[in-house]
Structure 1
């Protein structure tokens, strides 16, 4: 309260964190009762069982709006999040082009499972996925400019497609939106620079990895959900630096 009053008195610019708090407070007042967690580095809010709401557009429009219109702008974006969280039936043809694959660590999903058990007792929490290595899985997501809705239950039953078919479609969609965006961060070591929330999902596009100019075959590492690093299997220094950077 004190800092808020000081900001008004000194006319301080609204920070990312302050806007995120304002947005989440408004979302709570609108009746949203599920999880809300602000992820500062990505400037987005994780809500529900793993969906994301990106704040970039909301913050820009809020800042550019006249003082009298700021409340309406905020309310509009809050309504978008609330609508994304509702279990509404969607037509597959309308959502097909928005499908994207997302890679998640099993530990994160187990954290969600434990949180679900803590809140709901013995009620079972399950997710539909495809394995990727020993500690990661592929989940299905629906992408929009403001939010990413992770479909932990897989494709909706009335869509008439299997998880395998939906993931295949999502990978092709990702390929269609993937340009060349690997940057050399250390000689011989490259990192994805798409910054669109799907950097790590590009490991599902081997043709993209093959075009990275590394020594030998590309070897990738995903040290976090938003970081994809690639070097060559013939580049000992690159591999060593990749591991050091990951730690």
Structure 2
């Protein structure tokens, strides 16, 4: 990344892992800590049941100034220290807060653990929020932010809805409108307390910006909420450009959707052109990123379990009309897990010694006319198991897409 460490050389991921391990030792962690270079993570304990992904910490460290880096290390190293949760809901309620996360997050956490061990995963408690985001809960103290799991709620004897009501009250107490106008008519949240995006749950906060009756918002990353007017074309275009910039610079993507308020809650807003095309490109980029993280973990899980199956990539490409589309590849004779993409390229095996030209078909065309795809499970983003490569007679009936 071109970032220099204190010694003037490039800070490699391995060096960063060493810094994190040293910080953990200073906190008194004596358990085994194993660095996994492929996953860029640290596994703690003999059973490797605790896994700390280093991607976000590394990116934040690289962006920080020299005088801020020690604080980044200390903040993330705190996750090494096991924290006991309060035994009762009454004892925990004052530190509960709502968090919005990318919809892929719960499944990626489950897969991360499955890559190293077969210990039962304690799933995070979640509620649906939007097409690409989920609502979760956190227990927030000065030492660490811990997600609330389903087993914690069961132990407390409360529902996630009861916890959410308390968490919203807690966040409301620390919330007053705090936005900066970064370009005319476009505002970016300025709380900088890790809960900026959670304020999307409070419609009145945005309405205080006097954007008119139709404010629209985006929550591209964990620390950014952007707002403008739904009738401000230039503002919405600027908002999508800002969202793209924040994703590229900060990572930790949450949602690539645009939102509006309906009956007091945030719902998806589908803008008109030319905003729609730019937003669609950002959404497909986000989806491809989610699939990339999923593929990496699935490959490691299959390797650990000895499962012979190919996990196809979700690739971005430009269509003939200039729009961005997604593409995956399925080769005849290869058991494959396909991401749900705009089109699928079918690689047929050679016939009579002559190579066969690959063909491309739309996803719905392949799904509806061949019966060759089966949804793997309820994970997000969805993967489909190939059942059998379509025979030539079936392929001849498909409407093809020019490559």
TM-score (norm 2): 0.45
Asked if 1:174 corresponds to 2:190, the answer is no
Structure 2 gaps of 5+ residues are 9-15, 32-43, 62-69, 245-403
- With 213-222 and 186-195 compared, the bigger mean Cα shift is at 213-222
Q: Secondary structure at the match of 1:119?
A: coil
Asked if 1:35 corresponds to 2:51, the answer is yes
Following superposition, the deviation at residue 207 of structure 1 comes to 1.5
2:99 and 2:136 in contact (8 A); partners too: yes
1:115 alignment counterpart? 112
1:66 alignment counterpart? none
- Report which of the two structures shows the higher radius of gyration computed on alpha carbons: 2
Structure 1 gaps of 5+ residues are 8-15, 44-54, 61-76
2:139 and 2:145 in contact (8 A); partners too: yes
Asked if 1:231 corresponds to 2:228, the answer is yes
2:201 alignment counterpart? 204
Following superposition, the deviation at residue 173 of structure 1 comes to 0.7
Following superposition, the deviation at residue 123 of structure 1 comes to 4.4
2:126 and 2:137 in contact (8 A); partners too: yes
Following superposition, the deviation at residue 224 of structure 1 comes to 1.3
Distance 1:4 1:243 in 2: 33
Following superposition, the deviation at residue 126 of structure 1 comes to 3.4
Q: Secondary structure at the match of 2:219?
A: strand
Asked if 1:97 corresponds to 2:97, the answer is no
Rate the CA distance shift 1:20–1:212 in 2: closer, same or farther, 3 A.
Answer: farther
2:286 alignment counterpart? none
Following superposition, the deviation at residue 213 of structure 1 comes to 2.8
Asked if 1:164 corresponds to 2:182, the answer is no
Distance 2:6 2:216 in 1: 52
Distance 1:4 1:133 in 2: 40
Q: Secondary structure at the match of 2:210?
A: coil
Q: Secondary structure at the match of 2:225?
A: strand
Q: Secondary structure at the match of 1:168?
A: helix
Runs of 4+ in 1 over 3 A off after TM superposition: 3-7, 16-22, 24-29, 40-43, 55-60, 121-127
2:97 and 2:137 in contact (8 A); partners too: yes
1:101 and 1:170 in contact (8 A); partners too: yes
1:145 alignment counterpart? 142
Q: For residues 150-186 of structure 1, what are the alpha-carbon distances to aligned partners after superposition, in whole Å with 9 as ceiling and x for unaligned?
A: 1132643232321111111101110111122111111
Q: Secondary structure at the match of 2:110?
A: helix
2:22 alignment counterpart? 22
2:128 alignment counterpart? 131
TM-score (norm 1): 0.70
Counting helix residues as a fraction of each chain, which structure ranks higher? 1
Following superposition, the deviation at residue 27 of structure 1 comes to 5.2
Distance 1:20 1:122 in 2: 24
2:214 and 2:231 in contact (8 A); partners too: yes
Superposed CA RMSD in Å reads 3.4
Rate the CA distance shift 1:232–1:193 in 2: closer, same or farther, 3 A.
Answer: same
Rate the CA distance shift 1:115–1:90 in 2: closer, same or farther, 3 A.
Answer: same
Q: Secondary structure at the match of 1:227?
A: coil
Distance 1:221 1:4 in 2: 34
2:57 and 2:72 in contact (8 A); partners too: no
